[in-house]
Structure 1
């Protein structure tokens, strides 16, 4: 996967897909910067978007993660975003299919972009996760983690080779640094989505699992059902505003079935994303420096030895996944 492919993928979303969403109901599309122009000339790629900082949007400190109010706000906005895919699909299926066929497969096809570097990132984090479960009563958990290691390519393939009828245009990389937040008197009142380089058509459960498990804190895990219902209520209400009864198309029980199948996406992405988010900015190694010096690029993504707080978080995440039979 090269930088050019990432540019082309994001340009396609802003220049081709998003305008069709606006045509359905412009005022109801989640906030995103306006597309101004783009250049696709090889090695001179440029994407120019509106600077939304003028409207009060800004980056949130990633080390804070997201509390209940923030997670629910984000999930509500993603329910709205996913509603546009469903509405367009059922109002103009031919147009929708032509749009999604134009998406760039920057994920590497069946192997979930598992080049040597990505493979090493996942395996390094899985190795550390196994080290957290060495007691005799942890045998069941270790076997599950070993199964993921042994079937990593197959495991990742399942996220991207979605064959079901409920695929939506998905962000796929929705951690908090790919969003800008706006506050009014210290109260969150709007979110602006950014960085659609990895946009792809998958189950709505994929974005949900990323948001909840990579951005949310362990204390939110026991309230999973509440968050699932919150997302689906948003999807349902915004689909209705777009003229679609989502319950006749994609019922809540169907959504839960897909959560059961795809929650593991949030688990794997969390193994890399959570430690990276916990690092202070001054501790983050610049990726360009890593590459130019021929170092292991996994170091730039926080795969070094976890500190105690991070290890405790990873243990809680793993236990949650096992208890719900997600892995």
Structure 2
């Protein structure tokens, strides 16, 4: 561990940080005004929740001219994947760096100008401007009792409600940004392309995931699923690239593992979305489907899906009102419903694309950089079987399969 000065003391059990991250931590320590400090660093297992980032906790405990001080830092460092061509890992980190160092500042500014009450704002994790292309550096919210759900779990309904409320606010801020900062929006948001390269690597991902999901099915469901697969390649590109669909700034990885939650007495009271690496200018319904079809089972959708659509649209509408924007002028409810029906198949597509990775057993996670271009053997948790059967059954009932 190299982050030190003449008056620092380091725990000998510290986990080492990459050199560029050490340099960024040094800058944070200097800016925070420490004159004497102890530093503790700890590597964190991603538990299969992040394939492209190495995670660290960094705790600075010491003294400034104003007295004792503690700074708790969370670091996500890049894991290079040079052989991966379906998406650029470097590009992903640059996108998240843009979000925290630039866009987050602008979004907070327009919410301040509109006097959006603190409790009604879109929640953004506090970041350090010392973030670099190799590492995103945030305040460690785990120290404030925030955590993530298991990627295997069905979303609790109160968590799902909070998630779709935040999602409505994010998409509303995209419309507000377009209205209040048109030049910025045209130059910095509308120009963000889909992060995926629809090449042989991407085809390989869909092929391997489809194989794993088909094995969960039998009978007519399996036949219908397999018959749909030849269409999947074209549909995947359509949902991401077709300009006919309504477009906003979208998160594009809006699933439970990327949403921090805080509980008080067993009740979820707050959530904060994170991980903006795949953010781009795309169809807003993709975010909604991502959350629903990667985090719920058939019974949940039967009980709550229609209500969650209402909650999302109400949140979108209310946030727009702070900016004196009538939702009917940018995204009327009829347009929302029509777009929902037109793009519903994306729920199946994102399920095929990612569910086997979400349910990959932790001790046998696939190495995407090493294996991505070949046949990837994805060993999944048995709980995926029921989830897959429920998804396919729903899409048969909805007329997609």
Instruction: Flag whether TM exceeds 0.5 (same fold).
Output: yes
Give the match's secondary structure for 1:270. Answer: helix
- Asked if the contact 1:209/1:262 (under 8 Å) is kept, the reply is no
Any idea what the Cα deviations from partners look like across 1:141-189, whole Å, max 9, x if unmatched?
A: 7356424x22333211112214147311111111211111111111111
1:20 aligned onto 2:95: no
Q: 1:294 to 1:217 in 2, by over 3 A?
A: closer
Q: 1:39 to 1:81 in 2, by over 3 A?
A: closer
Q: Which residue of 1 aligns with 2:379?
A: 304
Query: Structure 2 regions of 5+ residues with no counterpart?
Result: 1-86, 113-117
1:33 aligned onto 2:125: yes
Matches within 5 A, 1:235-274: 235-274=316-355
Picking from 151, 158, 168, the partner of 2:238 is 158
- Asked if the contact 1:122/1:272 (under 8 Å) is kept, the reply is yes
User: So what's the TM-score if we normalise by structure 2?
Assistant: 0.69
- Relative CO higher for 1 or 2, CA cutoff 8 Å, sep ≥ 6? 1
Q: 1:134 to 1:144 in 2, by over 3 A?
A: closer
Give the helix-richer structure, 1 or 2. Answer: 1
Calculate the aligned-residue CA RMSD, in Å: 2.8
Q: Work out the number of aligned pairs and report it.
A: 308
User: So what's the TM-score if we normalise by structure 1?
Assistant: 0.83
Give the greater-gyration-radius structure (CA): 2
- Asked if the contact 1:239/1:245 (under 8 Å) is kept, the reply is yes
Matches within 5 A, 1:1-327: 1-26=87-112, 27=118, 28-38=120-130, 45-103=134-192, 105-108=194-197, 111=198, 114-116=199-201, 118-130=202-214, 134-135=218-219, 138=220, 142-143=223-224, 145-147=226-228, 149-164=229-244, 166-222=246-302, 223-279=304-360, 281=362, 283-285=363-365, 287=367, 291=369, 298-299=376-377, 303-304=378-379, 307=382, 309-327=383-401
Q: 1:292 to 1:214 in 2, by over 3 A?
A: closer
Give the strand-richer structure, 1 or 2. Answer: 2
Task: Name the stretch that deviates more: 251-260 or 122-131.
Answer: 122-131
Query: Structure 1 regions of 5+ residues with no counterpart?
Result: none
Moved over 4 A (4+): 128-134, 290-297
